[in-house]
Amino acid sequence: MHIDSETLINALRNQGLRITEARRAVCSIVARRHSEHLTAASILEEVQADPAARADQSTVYRTLDALEEAGLLVHSHLGHGAAVYHLASEATHQHVVCNRCGTTAAVPAAGLSEWLTQLQETTGFEVDPTHFAITGTCPDCATTDT
Amino acid sequence: MHIDSETLINALRNQGLRITEARRAVCSIVARRHSEHLTAASILEEVQADPAARADQSTVYRTLDALEEAGLLVHSHLGHGAAVYHLASEATHQHVVCNRCGTTAAVPAAGLSEWLTQLQETTGFEVDPTHFAITGTCPDCATTDT
DNA sequence: GTATCTGCAAAACTTTTGCAGTACC
DNA sequence: GGTACTGCAAAAGTTTTGCAGATAC
């Protein structure tokens, strides 16, 4: 289910936030590229590439924060570098990340939820299944170099 | 099983690396404080506090890298901030990290290994169970503020 | 003696912040 | 009109790098 730009904008409006060009631009990019691993840097680059919509770095971060506050967006740390952002509605999947090439793969839901439940019961933590990444070595890198 | 400083030093020597005061100092700290969540900053602080062993920031990082290369040390990212280092021999446990207060808890092994095996089979990744952190909200923070 | 290490300093990289001006409602 | 947002610029925090000099082997 894809969220469109308007949905994001409306959600911001419902939070009492003002709708500005910069926010429209960021929402538009986030909505359009919802299936990718968006980093703040790539969003920034795309916003600044559009002469009609340029927004400053700090504005991009502040907008991403606002979207997170509103519960529409989540970020996760997939590796050593920058955080990646996804729509909260799509954040139901987890990732394994290759620690050599950065390739990611989706973690199959099977088995995960039982384990998370168990983890939650044992530790008392309310585990957030959207904010973690698992590292490993992808099949390609594993064969390329033992 | 605790690794002592000499074991680390010897391993470095076996890699053909030179044994310097700075490396001894870092190895000593890592060995002594093996059970803690050591950050580069805390190691640096401790090294510099010892007048007989001061080492520069860059030297600390380079030594930690060398120990990782040698397979004696691993680092993981538990949150938004700095990486934490542990001895590879002790890196058999995983962590849940509270995304509010930073408290960590150990993940019980029960259930984990089956799930990891399953994950490994499905994705083809050689999953590294030592380098990931799971975020969530710890019991304290969950009650403090809903 | 020489290749490796070290210290220093500065840069790289991501993210945050202060502040004066702009624009949304 | 007033408050919230923006852009700019600079800072903060962690990690990396270039280089000249020191040191382990």
Query: pLDDT tens for residues A13-44?
Result: 999 999 999 999 999 999 999 888 889 999 99
The reported pTM is: 0.80
| Rounded Cα distance, B107 and A28, in Å | 39
Whether residue B135 is predicted with pLDDT greater than 90 in this model: the reply is no
Mean pLDDT of chain B: 83
**Residue A76's domain is classified under what CATH number?**
1.10.10.10
Q: Are residues A82 and A97 in the same domain?
A: no
Footprint of strand D on the protein (CB under 7 A): A 17-18, 20, 22-23, 54-59, 62-63, 66; B 13, 18-21, 39-41, 57-58, 61-62, 65, 81-83
The more confidently predicted of residues A137 and B21 is B21
Number of H helices, E strands in chain A: 6, 7
Q: Are residues B83 and B15 in the same domain?
A: yes
Q: What pLDDT does residue B39 have?
A: 93
Domain boundary among B70, B87, B104: B87
> Which domain covers residue A108, as residue numbers?
93-143
Domain boundary among A60, A87, A114: A87
| Rounded Cα distance, B105 and B96, in Å | 5
Rounded to the nearest 5 degrees, what angle is found at the Cα of B11, between the Cα atoms of B32 and B67? Answer: 65
Taking only the tens place, the pLDDT of each residue in A59-90 is 999 999 999 999 889 888 877 778 888 888 76
**Quick check: A119 and B96 in contact, CB under 8 A?**
yes
Rounded to the nearest 5 degrees, what angle is found at the Cα of A55, between the Cα atoms of A54 and A56? Answer: 135
Q: What pLDDT does residue A1 have?
A: 56
Q: What pLDDT does residue A37 have?
A: 82
Q: Is the CB of B58 under 7 A from strand C?
A: yes
B124–A110 CB contact, under 8 Å: no
Number of domains in chain B: 2
Q: Are residues A80 and A97 in the same domain?
A: no
Tell me the β-bridge partners of B136.
Answer: A127, B98
Whether residue B24 is predicted with pLDDT greater than 50 in this model: the reply is yes
Provide, as residue numbers in chain A, all residues whose Cβ is less than 8 Å from the Cβ of B134. Answer: 119, 127-128, 132
> Smallest CA–C1' separation from B64: which nucleotide?
D15
